[in-house]
Structure 1
Amino acid sequence: MAVVLAAAALASSANVWAQEGIKEVRFAWAGGPRAWVLGQIDKSFDQAFGVPVKWVGFNSGADVLSLFAAKEIDIARFGSSPAAAGIARKLPIEVIGTPEIIATAERLIVKNGIASIKDLEDKRVAYPANSTAQFAFELAVKLDGNGADRSKIRTVALKPAEIVSAWQRGDIDAAYVWGPFSQQLEAADGKEIYATQNLARHGVLVFNNFVARKEFAEKNPELIVKFLQVAQQKIDEYTADPEAASQKIAKHLDIPVDTVRSTLGGLQYPSIQEQLTPDYLGDSHTKASSRIARSYQEAAEFLAAIGELRKSDVPASYAGAINTRYLEEAAKAGKN
């Protein structure tokens, strides 16, 4: 009976979305190992929506912002700093969740002879443009550079795959990037000297967020709630058995399982209920003073300071771009 009722509810939702002209839901994803890829493998999202999911690839946060501007995606999982930039530039998007706190999933990998950030002076460092990796690198130089002269560090913005090629050619001396690319650099005689989690001692929170196109979310609130529920189910599946989940994802993406273990293990996963506390997003009453809202503000102000944003574009508060309504509904449904 439960199965019949669930199927009936799914069919009903599918009929509603079909009537509204939704033929597919478009996700932006970077192609690498993440817990939500489990939902790509078993098509949990497609089943929950009643319509197919189209997975749209991107290389960095800058690509995601372009895809949102062109209305080519509906939901994306990407980094906090490019999201802060997109909101500042008044893209019609809103934050609907913060499922991943970046710890060791993004790291600074260097070649032999480099032992510290200060040693990067007169060296060439690559990172993906407008990404959490770029944001973390700039903050690392500022906060943990031991007097490093930023003007003497030569930086180049490259796509992650291009970073690996540039490393192999000898065009760069270091790179700040995420897995599986960081592991590829290590396999080519690279070594880690810094990880994003080190910024936490300075009170800096760097994370990945779920962001939706505002028009899409407003027209399909039940679909956004279902998305958050399924995404949490996939995180729960991973945390319940990391090895089994890692094996599935490695086989699906055709990459080494060690790479998947390292990347997924380098993230922290606040639950839906935890995300609704002031330590993360907060709820409709506390989001304005939440840690995530402050983190967006700090990221935008830092990006303005280094010329990545106009100071006049930085909003007085990010609370208006954080919509906790969907998380709150997903949390209620989880208790039933």
Structure 2
Amino acid sequence: MNLRVFPRRLTGPIAILALLALATACAGPTTPEAAQPSDLGKCSTGSFAQPETASIGYFAEPNQYMSLKTGTALSTGLTTQFQWKSFNSGADVNTAMASGALDMSYIGGSPAASGIAQGLNYKIIGMYYVAGENEALIAKSSSGVKAVEDLAGKTVGVPLGSTSHYALMNALRLAGVSEQNVKVLNLSPQQMVAAWQRGDIDAGYVWEPARSQLLNEGGRMITNGNEMAAKGYPTTGLAIVQNDFAKKYPCVVLHWMEKNSEATVLAAKDPQTAASAFAGDLGLTPKFAAEQLSLETLWPDSQQITYFDSTEKNGLAWALADTAKFLQEQNYISNAPSQDAFRNSIDSSFLKYGQSG
């Protein structure tokens, strides 16, 4: 199966162009260096460089709140004070990374591909989820749409440039439906719910929480992330770090990655406990939060390492390059780097050391 990474978050690179120009003027592009065993070997000694503060970007989603709230506190064993910064889109994360306002962050694969293509000085060090039914094409039960083929002549809402847009276009193609025969409206998740309630659209391809809102208001699921992944179009979320920060403070980065792994293990073993830890922060009941977690696939470190290091068409570097080509075709970026260029921005060393430690 050919895997393509195309996450939920919108791309939108225009906002970071001025910041990129400034960064390029101040310092030329660098190739990220993988953390060396000698750098990480000292992490267990307690004697390693730490900054006073470190900033981490995140989205208010179950998989990320899980790592914030479960298990031991991230600051345990460190003097560093962590500043958590919430974002609404991967494009906003790229803007913050370009300005130096973030040290580490969660981000979707599409904005990651966009950021790397535009020369942002960060690398990918982990993958925290693969979407399932939590991102889906929902049609009104009254619309007569029971399969993708039924969308011909219908009006569908989707955030253009997002993974939902990408999934929708591929779903139409695979079903033999010309996109010229479908009226596609560019709607944010919030706008989509309002359009649904007004009766302006017959269907929408979207992620949580809008997905559940559409389902609860007379919708039926037509296809979803699981089905699109099986056809070669998965939706993933990644973890990134500024190259300079990783080089200067590798043990702090390793500590963050170990926290993510700890949360993933807990979710697999005891999803109810994991969900109870963050449900209140998201305004969810523990039961519903656990259901949300179950809609996503959380990969253990070993599976992430295999995906990161693969040189085949089912590896991360190939998937990012393929995503970049799509973004270029959609005029979101001007240049689509090669697979080798993306491979230089992927570092599995923190995952490997954490697994061996």
**Normalising by structure 1, what TM-score?**
0.81
- Tell me which amino acid in the other structure corresponds to 1:216: F
Post-superposition shift, 1:207?
1.4
Determine the structure 1 residue equivalent to 2:179: 150
| Range that drifts further, 91-100 or 169-178 | 169-178
1:75 aligns with 2:101: no
Q: 1:139 aligns with which of 170, 173, 185?
A: 170
Instruction: Report the 3-state secondary structure (helix = DSSP H, G, I; strand = E; otherwise coil) of the residue aligned with 1:95.
Output: strand
Write the letter of the residue equivalent to 1:127.
V
Give the corresponding residue for 1:272. Answer: 301
Superposed CA deviations along residues 59-95 of structure 1, whole A, max 9, x for unmatched, are: 2322222222232222222222221122112222211
Aligned counterpart for 1:262 among listed residues 291, 308, 311: 291
What is the match of residue 17 of structure 1? 50
Kept in 1, the 8 Å contact 2:308–2:316? The answer is yes
Q: Aligned partners of 1:27, 1:304: CA distance in 2, in Å?
A: 29
2:156 to 84, 100, 125: 125
Residue matched to 1:3: none
Alpha-carbon distance between aligned partners in 1 of 2:228 and 2:157, rounded to the nearest angstrom: 19
Residue 45 of structure 1 aligns with which residue? 74
Structure 2 CA distance for aligned equivalents of residues 121 and 55 of structure 1:
44
Q: Is the 8 A contact 1:81 1:130 kept in 2?
A: no
Percent identity between the two aligned chains: 25
Alpha-carbon spacing, 1:293–1:250, altered in 2? closer, same or farther (3 Å): same
Matched, 1:116 2:147: yes
Per the alignment, residue 298 of structure 1 pairs with 322
Q: CA separation of 1:189/1:67 partners in 2, compared to 1, >3 Å: closer, same or farther?
A: farther
Looking at structure 2, the residues matched to 95 and 177 of structure 1 have their Cα atoms a distance apart, in angstroms, of 25
Shift of 1:121: 3.7
CA distance, structure 1, for counterparts of residue 190 and residue 72 of structure 2:
27
The residue that corresponds to 2:333 in the other structure is 309
Q: Does 1:63 align with 2:63?
A: no
Take 1:30 and 1:195, find their aligned partners in 2: how far apart are those partners? 21
Distance 1:153 1:73 in 2: 40
**What residue in structure 2 maps to residue 34 of structure 1?**
63
Contact kept, 8 Å, 1:101 with 1:206, in 2: the verdict is yes
- Superposed counterparts of 1:173-188, under 5 Å: 173-188=202-217
Q: Name the Cα RMSD after superposition.
A: 2.7
How many residues are treated as equivalent by the alignment?
311
How far has the Cα of 1:238 moved from its partner? 1.3
**Kept in 2: contact 1:29–1:55 (CA 8 A):** yes
Gaps of 5+ in 1: 1-7
Measured against aligned partners, the alpha-carbon deviations of 1:74-118 in whole angstroms (never above 9, x if no partner) come to: 222222222112211222221101121222221112223122223
TM-score (norm 2): 0.77
Q: Distance in 2 between matches of 1:124 and 1:9?
A: 60
Deviations 1:243-285 (A, max 9, x none): 22223322232124454233211222221122212xx112xxx
